[in-house]
Structure formats: C-alpha cells, structure tokens
Structure 1
C-alpha cells in the first residue's frame, strides 16, 4: 500500500502508513495523538483541529476560542490535559472525551512564562519540556509547581517542536530538515535523521492498538511555487505561492556499527541520455564515449541498469562502473540517441560521528596523500589568497572533523550563491565572493587539501524533491556537485557544497554536513562523469567539447516510497 492510499472502514483500528492531509489547514505545527485521534494546531488561523487520520476528516474543536491559539506552535496531551505554547507562554487546559470526540474546558490556565518566545512542549510524568529557539535551550519544569528544574542544550538552529518517547526526547527542526533524538536525562544526542520533505514543524508517535508498533509522524509546513492561470492578466500565466501542510510517517534505521542513520527512501528511475547534434563540423575516428553509471554506496543501491538507444559495454574504473559506447567514426552528419536508464534505491543518510572520536585516528596513507592532497583540478592551491585562507579557516584547530567544519563555515561566510556560464578557479571565486556549487566546491577542496584533509568531488544530479509526485517524469534544472572528505579509520563522508549556506553570516544548519538527502543521485566518484576518447586518447576541449556535440536529457521518476527496516 502506498502512503497516499485511502483506507476503507475495514482498515480502522490499524493506522496504515499514509500521508495525512488536514482539511482547511494552512499550517500545521504541534501535533499529538490520543489513541487513534490526532490533534493538530494551526497557528495562522488559531484552529485546534481534531483529525481522523484514516479519512482526513477535520473538526475545529475551539470554534469560539480560536484567538487563544493564534501563534500557537507546541501541542501535547498528558492524561486528561492538553498543553500548548503561544508567544512566551505555556498553557494547559482540561479535556474531556466522548467516544471519538475531544472537547476543551475553558479557560486555559497559564503554566509558565519565559523571557523569549517558546516553540514546543512535551509532558511526561512530573516533567514539562519546553523548547526555545532564542535561548537555544530545552527547559524542564516541575509539572506540579511550575518551577524550573534544569535546562538542556538543544541541537540545531530552527524553531523546534518536541515530543517524549520513553527515555528519549525527539525534536523537529525546520531549518535543519532534521529530527533529533536525545537522551531525556542528559540531553546527549543519540542520533539524528533527515526528513524527506523540507520544513518539519511538529512530530508525534502513534502506537497501533492491534500490533503495538509505534510510528513517528511528522508535520510539514512550507510555501510552494506554482503557475496560476489568471484570466484577468496578460499574459494569463503568473507565478504564485500557496501554502502546503500535511503529516507524513518518518521511517528510520540506525546502524550503530557503521555509524549512520537512514531515513525515508524512494525507488526511483533515472535516465541519462545524449542526443548527438553537433554545432560545428568535426570528424573523430574510433570513438569511445564513456558515461559513469550510478554508484553503490551506504545510501544508494542499484537494482537494474539498461541501455537506451545504443548498446554499451561496461567497465569498472577506480571502483566506479562506467558505460562505454563505441563508434567507428563520428561526424557532424551523424545523429544518435544513447545513454542508460537505472532503477535505484535512494535514502537520506546522516552519519553519527563525533569530534571526540577523531582525536586518535590513523595517519592518512601515502597513497591517499599522493592522490587526494594535490592540486589536480585547477584549485589554485599555490596562490597567496588560497594559502592564507587555508590558515585562517582552521585557526589553531587540530581535530580533523572540527577542521572540516570550520573550513565549511569559513567558505560560507565568504561566498554567496550565484550561477555563471563557466566555473572560475577558487582564487577568483574567493575574491569575487559569489560562486556556483562548483565554485564553492573548488574553494572547499583547496582549503581542505592544504590542511591535510583528503577530499574529492562527487555528484552529478539531484532528483526534483517532490516525493508525493509519483510516476511522473521529473527533470532537474541543473547538474550538481558536492564533496566527500576522508577520515582515516571511518572512510568517506559526504558534505554538500553550498545548500546549507542559507543565512547571511550564519548560523548555518548542519543537515548536509556528513549527510545527504534522498534526492541526491551519486553517479561519479574518482572518475570523470563523462569522457570522450578518439583512437584511445582523450579528446581535449580545444579540439571539440561534449557540450558542442550533444544535448543531454536527464529524467527522474519516483516509483514508490521505501522503509529502511524492510
């Protein structure tokens, strides 16, 4: 059953994995389950909603007191009491149940008031947990007298919501696109997982009454661009934005041995095809057109690969599968369509490695030093601006993981994102202060290698991040590259080139530091993504470039959602 399949009455009593779409809600933040009843708060409208998760049937249970919930973001149910947060205040209100209907007993009572706006609330036993983005803390209060017991550090940088499960605290962070799991007593981070959609704004666990299985549901709220047909405008099509909010199950699996966590995956079909259509006359004899195939990684599995248009032979180069298309001769009069199609399992991944684990790591092997610490891609590592930046970026830091994190933040502080027709070397990009993903990557590679951190370019495309749009062809707007850095004793870890640079001057999210979302398609590691050989020798760009010979066609189709536990 797919997540969007509607449930018939015979399914009642066992909530299947599905996307829950509350009717008339413009934004969903705090959510809470009371058995099979789902409550959610819409802070824009002030609605406290009761939602039937089997049918999406929605009821406003505060029709005359909606203004009490304007701005409310946190929600929790404990025993016969509903808790919610709004502005700087935490309130509680008795509830009563009549069958499957919940009603409130007014007025709501003030539990505590903070100096800053509060975001989420959770209640278990005698403790009340409150999150506050402004202070960066999780406040713990005594439920009986409202006195503060202690505070815990809250990871992440966004407006976090919170729920409790046993001895664990779970936090959602919309800017980090992440769910954090913490130890309830100490606040120590146990692990974190990426969410399949942007902007997670609330979370709650549901326990199936029949099986006892618990599923984590996450609320999402964001604005979606769309093309509106406006008959009163000329032209009649115009760009508009609309609210999108829904609740979706989050699947995850922690691999403690390999130190990573996988979350919601997707089965996708991806195709890469070249259409030979030269711009100028040319003649190339005995041609090999080499295109890298998708890689096998911790988060990406290849189920099937097949040729499109023309057959290819497969070679393995530096551990990377490569499709080789052979032509006796290519001229400007030839017309071909050729490439490959693959069925992939892709997952979101977040590695769970801490700086203290990198204190006594082995030395980088001579082979890796010779291969991954050199300037082999026009990185301008011998220029004064790059060498000075490499020193400034790490200061006196000696821990490899902290060095890498400091380099990332240094580059984010000095570059803003922008696309140009071509990629400049890192020294020029750093002087200019604006760069594409490739230019971000060049600066990151140069500074990392000068500081003794082995790193390499990976990529090549991102599937359009619309996981609810299944079985529809999706085309990415651009290609994309990111990097991997190497920790001896652990292996290669991913790091995005620029998407985490979302706030001018920081703070920057860490969602893609040692993490990748499901929509990253890994197609080339340690080898060029695409090469052209004639008579066994590489064809240089001055002679003829692939971009002048052919038009590439890239397409993704999301087939189904995957649970890493199955």
Structure 2
C-alpha cells in the first residue's frame, strides 16, 4: 500500500470493532450510544497528529514528516498532500478560508492558503507548546501545553481575548462543533465537550483508541485520529440513546442486617424494611432475591420503591436478630452525554413529576428563608434546567468538603458549616434544586470497595434530577467535589460500575424514612444496650455461572414479589 494512499479499514476489522463495542454494553440499545464508532479509516501516515476539515475533506498532519494529507472521507483516499509550513505541525483548524497550523515545539501559528501554498499570517502563541487549534465565531482557540491554558485570540495577530484552564493536563487537540469545543486527552483516552466561554466540561466520551490525538467536527460527527493505532474514527455523538454503558461487572451481592441486644432489657416490636433493588438502565438482576427469612409482605412506598417487610418480634437480652438477602446482578458504568440546549425549560417537565418531586420535606426545608435566598443568588434568572442544576452543583461543591461527623443535618446547617457526608451533600443539592423548581430525588446503594470481592460498611447515596428529553439523571456532588474540570464533570450524569442501587426515593418514605437499603423500628422494655449492624458483601461471578436462585440449592427461603407496574 502506498504511503500516500489511505484506504478504508477492512470490513473484518470494522465488524470486529462494532462487535467489541456492543459487547461492552450491558444492554443493546435501539440506537447508537454516544461515542459509538460509525466508520474507520486507515491513517495515510505513521505519526498522525492534528485533524481538521473544510466541510468536505479531512486534513491530517503528520507530526514527524511535516506533511498534511488531504483525505476524501467517503472513499478513504488521499486527494493531495501539502508541505507543512513548520517542522512540527500539531493543531489544525480552518477559518476565513485558511488552514491554521500550530507548531508544538516553537508555538508558532501559521495561516496557510492551501491553493497557493503561501502563509498569509503568522504569529506566536501565548506559549511554546501550541498543541490544539479550533475556530469559532471569527476567533481562534489555542490549547497551550506549558501553561495548561486554552486561549481565545484574534486570528490576525494572536491578541488574547480570554482564557481558561485545560480540562486535564494531558489534553492535546481541539475542534469546535458550532456550539462546543471538543478536546482530546491522550493519557486518559477521553474526549471532552467543553463550554467555550467558561471552560466547564459538559460531557465526556471514551476515545475509541489508546492515544487520542486530532479531532474534527464534520456533518454532525466527531472524527478522532488515534496516534497509536494510526486510525481515523468517525464517532456518533447524538442519537436515540442518551447514555453509554461500559465495564460490566457480574456479582452475587448480599445485604446483611442485624440487631444485637446486650441487655439487660428486652427489645420488642422489631420491624425491619429492606429496599428491593430493581432493573435500571445500569443494572440487571440475574436472579430472584434469596431471603434468609421470608418477608411478611412485599409492598411499595409512596415513591414506588419496593420494600420487603419483616416482623421480628422480641429480641431477648444477650440475643440478636439477623436477616439477609442475596441476588445475582449485572452492573455497568453509565455515562450520559447531555446537551444543555436540548433540555428545554422547567415547563417541559411533566406536571406529575413536578408535583411529586418539588414537595418540601423535613430533611430538605426548601421553604426556609436561607434556602430561598441562597437559591435566588445561585440561579438568578436562569431558565434552562441543565444550567440551573449546574449552577447549584457548582455552588455545593465549592461550598462543601467531605466530612462524616454523624447524623444527617438539614441543608441550612450543612451549607453554613461547609462540610458534610454523602447524604448531606445529597440533601443540600436536592433541597436547592427543588427550591429552584427542578425536580430532584436520591438513590442509595451497596458499593464495591476496592477489590471485586469486598465488604461495604459505609454505602453511598447521590441525587437524581429530572431533565426534559433525558429523564432522571444521576448527580453526585460528593464525587464531583474536585479541583479538576473533568473531575467535576464526572459527578453529573455518570456512575461507575461499583453500585447495586437498592433505593430510589423522594425522602420521608413510610417504610424507609430518610434512610436507604434498610430501616428498622423497635421499642425497648427497660434499658437496653443495642447495636444495629448492616453490611454489603460482593462476590464476583462469571456471567455464565450467575444462574437463577430458584435453580440453586440454598438454605434460604425464596420469596419473589409479584411484578407491579410503576
């Protein structure tokens, strides 16, 4: 194959890539998930770096040979080659009919007329590591590698108009899709959708290869050149599926609850309610729940959360009562790609959702003057649901740091104190969202702690917000409390594959109160020294071994609730 000819990747390789993609998903979607590979091209050069488009063709820079390849994206063939005006071409973008090229060693910026081969304009970037370029609204964006800044400059002389921090220290190349910047990260193998004014990371895609380099936006698709695989990927960014599932984990999860009575009195009227996990976009139950004791009944609370109800009677001094359930589950990491402009307005949220999930509660106190005044200062006149949530989210992570000091104080106390547990982060965020008119609730879970086989003694809770066009989206302000723009973005619309979600609630449940996973009520006849224990246990399984409980020989009794529609 000629070094100047790029051919379409073989059908075998393409099919394997697609099969690998869908094999990584926990659920095969009806449409394409964000970041799905639509097509691939073999790179015509050995050292692919910057990528650009004039709207018809792709232009790929060979960093080592200082050559620019002009490619027909439909046929995968090289139309022409151009000598780069600098020794180390890296970033590229089109603007005003010129191909702008950056040098990654000197920081030089060159505006090249491809027809004449003449450099019409040249100037120095704000630093010597000019890695990425993007054109938007007659201005040029420069990703500078030494200062770790993205500069917005005048294209005629490089005058700086504004700047912000790069999303991550390993970012390399950029493009603009007409609304957002897209920035590649060669170390973390990620692609970031970034607000070009604030620098906030709005969305994240997994890069299709191990060394994400040049990016270009053409006809609604994101193209990414991978330096290591020497491949150009055409990626689907927006389709019918708003999220992507990856990193599937199959495990047997056991939840254990016990109440120890060390006396001297009796503990009476012991009633325990366990939250029952359900099928969700990021989790699938592969077996029935296997209970150590058959529940007295299976019911639902006012939030449609299924619960197993137990009446354990009296616990004598020196005794304990315990119960467990086990379930085989498949859990996946989930990542939404949210376009703020697609979330409409608060009026687009269904009335029943607003009525149910804007209500006040004893742990929220949304009607308190402090919460009302605070949310007005945060949100201002913002009407877009995503940006309302993002402003509140930014406020919470700026205001709080993690500290678990016992108990769940109300948001006013937590926000004034400046610290809180995951539940207090969540209650504060939910309270402010509801006060702003954005429906919010929470989820609770059993968590993988480190190793695949692990014990969870702490559990975890986070919020969900309702966004028109997307539905319920996870928001974990505790996880997103990071100095990194990427770290902050990973708290919105993203969950790792570490959670078996047991609970979805608006708070104040008749069976779970403000807790999650389980809740117990009891009385004491005289003084009693009691200790309540609850743990989660994870045991990794091979998927083919995750057989239904009903076909397993076990000591526990199985009680399967009748299916109930939400």
- TM-score normalised by the chain length of structure 2: 0.57
Higher relative contact order (CA 8 A, sep 6+): 2
Question: Is 1:157 the equivalent of 2:167?
Answer: yes
Aligned with 1:271: secondary structure?
A: strand
The structure-2 alpha-carbon separation of the partners of 1:452 and 1:177, relative to structure 1 and needing over 3 Å to count, comes to farther
Tell me how far apart the structure 1 counterparts of residues 372 and 354 of structure 2 sit (CA, whole Å): 18
Tell me how far apart the structure 2 counterparts of residues 541 and 116 of structure 1 sit (CA, whole Å): 71
Tell me how far apart the structure 1 counterparts of residues 474 and 527 of structure 2 sit (CA, whole Å): 33
| Contact 1:348 1:516 (8 Å CA) reproduced | yes
Aligned with 2:274: secondary structure?
A: strand
CA RMSD of aligned residues (A): 5.5
1:280-306, Cα deviation, whole Å (9 max, x unpaired) = 455455644211122321112111244
1:500 corresponds, among 460, 468, 480, to 480
2:338 corresponds, among 330, 345, 353, to 353
Structure 2 runs not aligned, ≥5 long: 1-15, 21-40, 48-59, 68-85, 90-103, 109-123, 134-140, 195-200, 215-222, 229-234, 545-566
Aligned with 1:423: secondary structure?
A: coil
Tell me how far apart the structure 1 counterparts of residues 286 and 264 of structure 2 sit (CA, whole Å): 40
Deviation (angstroms), 1:110: 5.9
Deviation (angstroms), 1:361: 5.7
Deviation (angstroms), 1:156: 6.8
1:136 corresponds, among 150, 168, 180, to 150
The structure-2 alpha-carbon separation of the partners of 1:319 and 1:180, relative to structure 1 and needing over 3 Å to count, comes to same
Deviation (angstroms), 1:408: 0.9
Superposed, 1:227-246 pairs within 5 Å as: none
Tell me the equivalent position of 1:385.
Answer: 370
Aligned with 2:376: secondary structure?
A: helix
Deviation (angstroms), 1:271: 1.8
Question: Is 1:553 the equivalent of 2:531?
Answer: no
Tell me how far apart the structure 2 counterparts of residues 542 and 376 of structure 1 sit (CA, whole Å): 32
2:245 corresponds, among 251, 258, 262, to 262
1:115 corresponds, among 126, 131, 139, to 126
Deviation (angstroms), 1:561: 9.6
2:191 corresponds, among 162, 170, 179, to 179
Superposed, 1:131-530 pairs within 5 Å as: 131-132=143-144, 134-136=148-150, 157-162=167-172, 171-173=183-185, 178-180=190-192, 192-193=204-205, 202-203=211-212, 256-281=239-264, 283=266, 287-307=270-290, 309-312=292-295, 315-317=298-300, 318-360=303-345, 362-464=347-449, 466=450, 469=451, 472-476=452-456, 478-488=458-468, 490-503=470-483, 509-526=488-505, 527=509, 528=512, 529-530=516-517
| Contact 2:267 2:525 (8 Å CA) reproduced | no
1:184-239, Cα deviation, whole Å (9 max, x unpaired) = xxxxx9973369xxxx995479xxxxxxxx999999xxxxxxxxxxxxxxxxxxxx
The structure-2 alpha-carbon separation of the partners of 1:91 and 1:121, relative to structure 1 and needing over 3 Å to count, comes to farther
Tell me how far apart the structure 1 counterparts of residues 332 and 269 of structure 2 sit (CA, whole Å): 40
Deviation (angstroms), 1:372: 1.7
Deviation (angstroms), 1:178: 4.8
